[in-house]
Amino acid sequence: MTKDYKRITTNVLQEMKDNKEKISMLTSYDFTLAKIVDNAGIDVILVGDSASNVMAGHETTLPITLDHMIYHAISVVKAASRALVVVDLPFGSYQGDSKKALRSSIRIMKESGAHAVKLEGGGEIIDSIERILTAGIPVMGHLGLLPQTAEKYSVQAKKSSDAVNLLEDAKILEKAGVFSIVFEMVTRDVAKIITESVKVPTIGIGSGINCDGQVLVVHDMLGMFEKIKPKFAKRYLNLSEEIRNAINSYVKDV
Ligand code: KIV
């Protein structure tokens, strides 16, 4: 049976993996929705750079800035009384410069009060991860499909050599001290092998059911974002239609 954790910490997430309890994670970017997500009992709220797509309407995650991410994070942190709040470091705020990575992470932690940061990449960004960790800032890794640098969205680690590299990257991140790793669009079997090979919790998105937890973009699972509909994202509601109907009724009333 899942324990009734009052407040989710990185230690609680580890305890959940060790007890084989699944970890739930959703994105949020604003106070109102984050409050609903937190009250519903989600374990981790990700202030994802997917805000660039679903909040700002950009085609990619590249344009969102550190200032924008901090603005979203401040609103989410105010709303979350149980969930662990993780904030994405946006494109350009950490790659190739570990000192910049640390400065960006410190800004997120000081200005928003978030609990952790997330960065995309493996061995190639390990200097940044290690430097952030020296400041005592908890880091979540992100491997597999990396939206900040991906040329196209396709399933990762289909070839066995890619699977071996992915496992190697996961081991590098684990050794550095990340508390968890997101795996995006990785084949179900590879996600299972890696989940069984690392001690830290793995969180999957489009990577099958064998990870220690699952994450989705909240707009996708609520059916609010009509522009892109990822195949792997189960829709639990058709909220855009519900909202449209409500607004139509209002217009008729007026
Ligand atoms: O930005 C985001 O929403 C993410 C998830 C896709 C994991 O990084």
What are the pLDDT tens digits along the chain (254 aa)? Answer: 567 899 999 999 999 999 999 999 999 999 999 999 999 999 999 999 999 999 999 999 999 999 999 999 999 999 999 999 999 999 999 999 999 999 999 999 999 999 999 999 999 999 999 999 999 999 999 999 999 999 888 888 888 999 999 999 999 999 999 999 999 999 999 999 999 999 999 999 999 999 999 999 999 999 998 887 888 899 999 999 999 999 999 999 99
Q: Give the CB-side neighbour count of residue 64, counting CA atoms within 13 A.
A: 29
Record the pTM.
Answer: 0.97
Q: What residue's CA is closest to ligand 1, atom 2?
A: 48
At 205 the three-state DSSP class reads strand
- 158 in Cβ contact with 187 (< 8 Å): yes
Closest CA relative to residue 218, chosen from 33, 79, 63, 18: 33
- 21 in Cβ contact with 41 (< 8 Å): no
Q: How far apart are the CA of 48 and the centre of ligand 1, in A?
A: 5
Q: Which atom of ligand 1 is nearest to 27's Cα?
A: 3
Q: What is the pLDDT of residue 2?
A: 63
Within 6 Å (CB) of ligand 1, which residues are found? 27, 46, 48-50, 88, 182, 184, 205, 215, 217
Q: How far apart are the CA of 96 and the centre of ligand 1, in A?
A: 21
Q: How far apart are the CA of 44 and the centre of ligand 1, in A?
A: 12
Q: How far apart are the CA of 252 and the centre of ligand 1, in A?
A: 38
Residues in Cβ contact with 121 at an 8 Å cutoff, skipping those fewer than 6 apart: 95, 141, 142, 143, 146, 149
Q: Which atom of ligand 1 is nearest to 61's Cα?
A: 1
pLDDT (tens digit per residue) in 97-149: 999 999 999 999 999 999 999 999 999 999 999 999 999 999 999 999 999 99
Q: What is the pLDDT of residue 226?
A: 82
Out of 53, 64, 215, mutate this one to test ligand 1's pocket (max ligand atoms within 8 Å of CB): namely 215
Q: Which residues are catalytic?
A: 184
Q: What is the pLDDT of residue 146?
A: 97
